[in-house]
Structure 1
Amino acid sequence: PGDGVFLKVSLARGVRRFSIKGKLSPCFIGPFEILDRVGEVSYRLALPPQLSHVHNVFQVSLLRGYKYHPLHVISYPLDQIRADLSYVEEPEAILDRQDRVMRNKTIPFVKILWRNHPELEAIWETEESIQTSYPHFLP
């Protein structure tokens, strides 16, 4: 009790088909304060109002320890976290376009900036996969 932990979240299944998110994408949110221990391997956390739809007892496999440091500033879009601790990525902008030749076939690619991620984490996706997953996004 009183210690801080990060809570594991995951990308919603079936949302992104073509490529895998970079190593720097958030896998954990928090830190959250531990209120008390529930059973042998579970803890009750103090969650913010944005996560009121999420049950506040978690198994230790979903938690990572956190040591408080006054200079740490951590902010996440908590309102986008679902009850099953998953979230949906949304494209924000197209940074670049490129045609690549693969096996004598030209495939159009777009470099996508994802919402709530820095420009460094923008990734190349096939135009077809973006059109399929986010039909409203491409012109």
Structure 2
Amino acid sequence: MGVRYMVLVPDPNQVIFDADTFVKEAQVRWPGCRVFVDDPSKAISDASVRVDSADDPTFMVIHFPDCRALTTDGLPYQAAEVAVWVREVHPDPGLVLWLIDNGFAAHVVLHPGITTDEIHAGWVDHREHNPYEEFPQYFGDW
């Protein structure tokens, strides 16, 4: 399994949530998920959850110590569900959240109230819309 999708805050001045909040909220969203707490001095992540289901493939959601990104190795519909969950935890429209694919070839802006159907239909192709040019406030230092 590897990273397929990432939910991130492209604004370097914003954060999603810390590891403790991530774990607490994940346990509410996916009761019975398996929690892993990592030492960020030995791993690139600080917490992760494994979501097992009798009906769907197992997937991971991983939190990073900078509190600006979560990754998932889930299938597209699972990644969309993760993205909706993050947005529901943070309904403030002032928090900018994106879902990106593993190659940063496309993104979806996660507005408050977004649905999984809107995510599937809302991908912005970076070959047509260069995020570095269209959003210099987020990528000026990259």
The alignment's TM-score, normalised by the length of structure 2, stands at: 0.27
- Give the structure with higher Rg (CA): 1
The alignment's TM-score, normalised by the length of structure 1, stands at: 0.27
Which of the pair has the greater relative contact order for Cα pairs under 8 Å at 6+ separation?
Answer: 2
